[in-house]
């Protein structure tokens, strides 16, 4: 894969815009639920988990109530686990509460084909039976292959399938400043 420097990508969002998008989604969530008690936020590893921490802080600031938080790994629930290249890297699922009867917001960074969300739903159902599951994503870039739609969206992007959307966050090991880029596909950013 080729290397593209950050400045070679088209910057779509910066730190302030990402913060605003997360704040907007938090406001929508708080207004959609009469109470955030019993609501849990589950972040899809890796960047969905980082965004989950931010979303929970914004919900707490708006509602005065801290919601429970968990993180899920979809690696072995993916339909491409055997065809996606070298040995998959398993990340940790950490949901320290029972999901049964909970109202769940599933959080991810980019919604594309819907396959990661399908895998996350399968993983969630193995851990309990939530009362409902809603989907929050920072970026909805379209091109769905499965009938999955987000309930809460930070930004909708009109992209082509020859482009890649990359979300980089400060929490990552080599994340640098928060940003969302559109790059030529299949090339990936090497930070």
Q: What is the pLDDT of residue 91?
A: 72
Look at residue 128 and tell me if it is in a domain: yes
- Higher pLDDT residue, 191 or 75? 75
pLDDT of 20 above 90? yes
Look at residue 44 and tell me if it is in a domain: yes
pTM comes to 0.88
Look at residue 188 and tell me if it is in a domain: no
The strand pair at 68-72 and 132-140 is best described as: unpaired
- Rounded Cα gap, residues 184 and 174, in angstroms: 21
Sorting pLDDT into bands at 50, 70 and 90, what band is 71? very high
Look at residue 123 and tell me if it is in a domain: yes
Q: Which domain holds residue 86?
A: 16-159
Partners of 140 in beta bridges:
111, 156
- Higher pLDDT residue, 130 or 47? 130
Look at residue 167 and tell me if it is in a domain: no
Partners of 14 in beta bridges:
179
Q: What is the pLDDT of residue 4?
A: 38
Q: In sequence order, what are the residues at sequence separation of 6 or more whose Cβ sits closer than 8 angstroms to the Cβ of residue 44?
A: 71, 72, 74, 106, 107, 108, 116, 117, 120
What mean pLDDT, rounded, does the chain reach? 88
Residues 139-174 have pLDDT tens digits of 999 999 999 999 999 999 999 989 999 999 998 877
- CATH code of residue 20: 3.40.50.2020
The strand pair at 10-14 and 179-184 is best described as: antiparallel
- In angstroms and rounded to an integer, the radius of gyration of the C-alpha atoms of the chain is 16
Q: What is the pLDDT of residue 115?
A: 93
Residues 86-137 have pLDDT tens digits of 665 667 899 999 999 999 999 999 999 999 999 999 999 999 999 999 999 9
Look at residue 39 and tell me if it is in a domain: yes
Counting the structural domains of the chain, the total is 1
Look at residue 183 and tell me if it is in a domain: no
Look at residue 115 and tell me if it is in a domain: yes
């Amino acid at each position: 894969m080729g290397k593209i420097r950050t400045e070679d990508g088209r910057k779509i969002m910066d730190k302030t815009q990402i913060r605003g998008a997360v704040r907007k989604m938090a406001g929508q969530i708080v207004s959609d639920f009469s109470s955030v008690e019993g609501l849990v936020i589950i972040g899809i590893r890796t960047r969905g988990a980082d965004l989950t921490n931010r979303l929970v802080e914004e919900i707490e600031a708006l509602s005065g109530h801290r919601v429970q938080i968990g993180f899920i790994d979809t690696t072995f629930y993916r339909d491409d686990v055997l065809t996606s290249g070298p040995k998959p890297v398993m990340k940790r699922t950490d949901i320290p509460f029972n999901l049964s009867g909970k109202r769940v917001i599933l959080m991810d960074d980019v919604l594309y084909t819907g396959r990661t969300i399908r895998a996350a739903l399968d993983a969630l159902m193995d851990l309990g039976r939530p009362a409902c599951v809603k989907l929050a994503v920072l970026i909805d870039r379209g091109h769905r292959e499965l009938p999955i739609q987000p309930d809460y969206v930070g930004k909708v992007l009109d992209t082509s399938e020859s482009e890649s959307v990359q979300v980089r966050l400060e929490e990552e090991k080599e994340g640098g400043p928060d940003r969302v880029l559109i790059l030529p596909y299949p090339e990936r950013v090497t930070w």
